[in-house]
Amino acid sequence: MASSDLEQLCSHINEKIGNIKRMLSLRNCGQEPTLKTTLDKIGDEIIVVNELLNKLELEIQYQEQTSHSLKELWASLEEDYKDVEHLKENIPPHLPQVTVTQNFVNASDGHPEEPVKAEEPAPTKKPPKEQRFIKEMSFITSDEFNGIPAYMKSRLTYCQINDVIKEINKAVVSKYKILHQPKKSMNSVARNLYHRFIDEETKDTKGQYFIVEADIKEFTALKADKRFHVMLNILRHCRRLSEVRGGGLTRYVIT
């Protein structure tokens, strides 16, 4: 055996012997009445510190979830802002323009006041047809979200639920725009959808606004999967919709 290996072995054995001596020393200290009280206090403080660490871990988890929800809310607000900017840049040209007319020339220009020639009235356009009201689902509030049972919402966030409401409203508006459209102006696709909508109506849905899963697939990018039906359960809990079944079809009525 080389001398270096022998020295390492001796060092390792001496370290183990030193550890055993320290353990025996601490064991003897625990049996002394004067030191036992101090050790008990240290044990109690360790328990308190452990509880504080557990609370700190829970707080960190809560802050991480809050941060994630805020990021999703920010993304949703950013998307809404882009929609508003798009509307601002694409104002319909038929809306009335605000014009300011000056009746007289300012006297400070050194010219006598002269009446401005009256402008000929623009030819009146036919007033646009009054748009018919389409009922949409209102978004849930933060208080309503907090009142949803944990087992029901699972890991779903406030923003995710309201995003689904936005898509459902998109389907509702698209459907009833076709129903309110004059039949003469419909193309073949719209006409086929119109007839399907009429066939799906029942006496229980008369005067109500409703959609079916086929409308979700037709007008939105949502998938009618298990997660989607969990969302529908939440919306029923929040009294945003109700179900009318019949003829092998489930109708989701906006309430």
Where along the chain do its domains lie?
8-79, 142-254
The fold adopted by the segment(s) 142-254 is: Arc Repressor Mutant, subunit A (1.10.10)
pLDDT at 69: 87
| Mean pLDDT, contiguous 10-residue spans, the chain (255 residues) | 72 85 73 71 82 84 87 89 82 56 46 54 60 89 93 90 94 95 92 95 93 95 91 94 93 95
User: Measuring CA to CA, which residue among 160, 149, 203 is closest to residue 68?
Assistant: 160
User: Measuring CA to CA, which residue among 138, 135, 157 is closest to residue 69?
Assistant: 157
End-to-end Cα, the chain, rounded Å: 89
Pairing of strands 241-246, 249-254: antiparallel
**Which residue in this structure is represented by tokens 């993304």?**
75
Please count the other Cβ atoms lying within 10 Å of the Cβ belonging to residue 250.
13
Taking each helix axis from N to C end, the angle separating 158-180 and 33-89, rounded to the nearest 10 degrees, works out to 20
pLDDT at 128: 59
Beta-carbon-side half-sphere exposure of residue 249 (alpha carbons within 13 Å):
17
pLDDT at 59: 85
pLDDT at 231: 93
> Would you state the structure tokens that stand for residue 71, as one six-digit string?
């990021």
